[in-house]
Amino acid sequence: MSLFLMFAYIVRRIAQSFIVLLAVSLICFAIFQFMGDPVLTLAGRYATQAQQDLVRKTLGLDRPFYTQYFSFIANAIRGDFGLSYVTQVPVLRLIFERLPASIELAITAMFLSLFLGITLGVVSSLKPHSLGSRVIMTGSLFGISLPTFLVGILLILVLGVSLRALPPFGRGRVIKVIGNWRTGFLTIDGLRHLILPALTLGMYQLAVLLRLTRGGMLEALQEDYTRTAWAKGLSQRIVMFKHALRNVLIPVVTIAGLQMGELIAFSIVTESIFQWPGSGNLLLTSIYETDHPVIVAYVMITALIVLTINIFIDILYGILNPKISYD
């Protein structure tokens, strides 16, 4: 089959994603068009009508809706999302400056939650009624019942303030790698600063994946193919990982992918709590300041990232489970 079918599938998914992106941009644009006039914020509360009109004209906000939208799309395709209302700096530069910090945090959190979530899930499914498993399950129940901001605040309170074990804010020492990319991965100080925010961001995800893995493993271990594998005298390692876990990973990976959007949203919360100099923090400031171009660009970029990751996950899905066909 199937290389061709898979290729056709990917092309179709990309086309669909473009339609979704267009819809997202249209919705964003429509909302901003009708709600919250930035001119009032920018020209100042005491501006005269003439001053307001001038601001409106220079920003091009006096043109009809569809003209504004099409010029936005035409510019966006060329990678130009306009200038920030507040700082008058190209929006994309503003976001890209802060993106490395956000990506490093998100990747670390994702890795933590996938690794710990799957490992602890498997461990707790081996002896589901042992004390250790019960502790893990109770912990995971708290993990899904604590909002991200509370996890962050509690970690700061206990590990940052009371015990003074880890730095509670900022990114620490960063090293310039290439271009604008400054990394905190390469210094001890940077890594120490990463621990609390990454734990905060990954905690909910970790708990969800743990419970999913455990549930899946408990079911898979009852299946005939697992019993056959045991009966063949295969080692525990092979049965657990090659037979049971492989099938369990399919829904786990799917959910992890679906949670990407939430991960990005929660990174906004996490960055704000830990004063992390990332793009989520930028978005929050822009919301407070009614800086529409930054918000639109941020939403478009995150939608693009989420859609791309979901396409990759669908492909990964096919590799993990040969039974799925792309038609």
Partner 1 sequence: MIRHLLQSKLLSHYVRDLSAVVGSVILLIVLLGAIFAPFIAPQDPYDPKTLSLQDSLTPPIWMKGGQAPFLLGTDDQGRDILSTILYGCRTSFLVGSSVILIAGTIGVTVGLLAAFYSGILDTVTMRIADTFFSFSTTLMAMLLLGIFKGGGIPLVILAIVIADWVRYARTMRGSVLGVKEDDYIQAARACGGSNLRIMIRHILPNAIPPILVVAAVDFGAVVMLEATLSFLGVGVPINKPSLGMMISLGKNYIYAGKWWLIIFPGIALISIVLGINLLADWLREELNPRLGQR
Given the rule CB under 8 A, which residues bind partner 1?
16, 19-20, 23-24, 27, 31-32, 35-36, 141-142, 144-150, 153-154, 156-157, 161, 258, 261-262, 264-266, 268-269, 272-273, 284, 287-288, 295, 299, 302-303, 306-307
Q: Report the interhelical angle of 91-126 vs 188-220 (nearest 10°).
A: 50
Least distance to partner 1, CB of residue 210, Å? 14
Q: At CB < 8 A and 24+ separation, what contacts does 299-302 make?
A: 299/24, 299/28, 300/21, 300/24, 300/25, 300/28, 300/76, 300/81, 301/95, 302/261, 302/264
The distance of closest approach from Cβ of residue 116 to partner 1 in the complex, given in angstroms and rounded to an integer, is 20
Q: Rank residues 108 and 281 by Cβ distance to partner 1 and give the closer one.
A: 281
Q: Which amino acid type is present at position 5?
A: L
Least separation in angstroms between residue 168's CB and partner 1 is 8
Q: What DSSP state is assigned to residue 242?
A: I
**Nearest CB to partner 1, comparing residues 287 and 316:** 287
* Residue 92: CA count within 13 A, CB half-sphere: 10
The least CB distance from residue 265 to partner 1, in Å, is: 4
Of the pair 4, 288, the CB lying nearest partner 1 is at 288
**Helices 91-126/292-320 angle, 10° precision:** 40
Nearer to partner 1, 53 or 262 (CB): 262
Which residues is 183 bridged to in the sheet? 175
Which of 244, 307 has the CB closer to partner 1? 307
Provide the 10 A C-beta neighbour count for residue 168.
Answer: 20
Output the smallest distance, CB 44 to partner 1, in A. 17
Q: What is the CA radius of gyration of the chain?
A: 24
What distance in Å separates the CA atoms of residue 185 and residue 108, rounded to the nearest whole number?
Answer: 10
Least distance (Å) between residue 135 CB and partner 1 = 14
Closer residue to partner 1, CB minimum distance, 32 or 181 = 32
The set of residues, in sequence order, having a beta carbon less than 8 Å from that of 82 and lying 6+ positions away, is 72, 75, 90, 91, 293, 297
User: CB–CB of 294/282 below 8 Å?
Assistant: yes
Of 101 and 155, nearer to partner 1 (C-beta) is: 155
User: What's the min distance (Å) between Cβ of 244 and partner 1?
Assistant: 18
Per-residue b or e along 193-218, where b marks 16 or more CB atoms closer than 10 Å to that residue's CB:
bbbbbbbbbbbbbbbbbbbbbbebbb
Question: Which CB atom, from 27 or from 135, has the smaller least distance to partner 1?
Answer: 27
